[in-house]
Amino acid sequence: MFFVAVLLMGAAGLFGLAADTITHKENKVIQEINFSPVHCFNKPLEKLVIRPDFIGCIIGEDLPLGESAIVESTERPKDLHPQVLARFLSAQAAAKEVGIEMHIDSGYRTIETQNYLFQRAIKEHKTPEEAIKWVLPGDLSRHPWGLALDVNLHHEKSGASWLEANGATFGLCRVYENEWWHFEPLIAPGGICPPLLPDASQVK
Ligand SMILES: [Zn+2]
């Protein structure tokens, strides 16, 4: 048993801080290893890597995806949220491996641009009530928060279909029944996307 204990302690050593407890009893060694996975886009490998939390994403090599739904920050951003970009890059790389092309056709927008698009939609759809099902005004849309992606709207639809089927792995979800191209970081990577909302007028 001593030899087994030494082996397990050696393994615990390899896991570093992961060995929370090693309890020695007369004839028994109990080892508990607890760690939470951390999702990172590894730039050299161009793929999602999952590391234990005691290592975390590696600065300069990895882009963190974040480990929860991504919500509005306290300040208005000037670009796409970096964790949303890391999620998309991870998904894009995985899609590429199976021969599927994915592009961000529209991500971050200024509030002014979003309001312009809303006004244009009112002209197109005749009423604000109808327009809001397709384009939200600047203060309601998550595009100006850098938290929404329109994927393959001007490209082959298969990229967005692939993301709808596989995006949860990367924390990206399709949101609306009437917009196959619109994705948001509604969940933690590896979570389960909520049911689709009928359209953008349902946004809270
Ligand atoms: Zn959108």
Mean pLDDT to the nearest integer, 113-128:
97
Mean pLDDT to the nearest integer, 119-139:
96
User: According to the model, what pLDDT value does residue 204 have?
Assistant: 62
Question: For residues 78 and 58, what is the distance between their CA atoms, to the nearest angstrom?
Answer: 25
Q: What spacing in Å lies between the alpha carbon of 154 and ligand 1's midpoint?
A: 13
Q: What is the CATH number of the domain that holds 169?
A: 3.30.1380.10
User: According to the model, what pLDDT value does residue 35 have?
Assistant: 78
Query: What is the tens place of the pLDDT at every residue in 14-65?
Result: 443 344 444 455 566 766 667 789 999 999 999 999 999 999 999 999 999 9
Asked whether residue 188 is domain-assigned, the answer is yes
Phi and psi for 62 in degrees, rounded to 5?
A: -115, 150
Asked whether residue 135 is domain-assigned, the answer is yes
Residues with CB under 5 A from ligand 1 (ion): 148, 150, 182
Asked whether residue 59 is domain-assigned, the answer is no
User: Looking at the structure, do residues 85 and 132 belong to the same domain, yes or no?
Assistant: yes
Question: What is the C-alpha end-to-end distance of the chain, expressed in Å?
Answer: 60
What's the domain count of the chain? 2
Residue 146 exposure: Cα atoms within 13 Å on the Cβ side: 17
User: Looking at the structure, do residues 171 and 103 belong to the same domain, yes or no?
Assistant: yes
Q: Say what the pTM is.
A: 0.83
Dihedral angle at the C-alpha atoms of 114, 192, 38, 109, nearest 10 degrees? 0
Whether 12 has a pLDDT exceeding 60, the answer reads no
Task: Give 131 or 32, the one with higher predicted confidence.
Answer: 131
Q: What spacing in Å lies between the alpha carbon of 200 and ligand 1's midpoint?
A: 9
Q: Residue 6 belongs to what domain range? A: 2-33
Asked whether residue 42 is domain-assigned, the answer is no
User: Looking at the structure, do residues 20 and 119 belong to the same domain, yes or no?
Assistant: no
User: According to the model, what pLDDT value does residue 10 have?
Assistant: 40
Whether 119 has a pLDDT exceeding 90, the answer reads yes
User: According to the model, what pLDDT value does residue 84 have?
Assistant: 98
User: According to the model, what pLDDT value does residue 31 have?
Assistant: 63
User: According to the model, what pLDDT value does residue 180 have?
Assistant: 97
Question: For residues 78 and 123, what is the distance between their CA atoms, to the nearest angstrom?
Answer: 28
Asked whether residue 40 is domain-assigned, the answer is no
Q: What spacing in Å lies between the alpha carbon of 148 and ligand 1's midpoint?
A: 6
Asked whether residue 174 is domain-assigned, the answer is yes
User: Looking at the structure, do residues 28 and 78 belong to the same domain, yes or no?
Assistant: no
User: Looking at the structure, do residues 28 and 112 belong to the same domain, yes or no?
Assistant: no
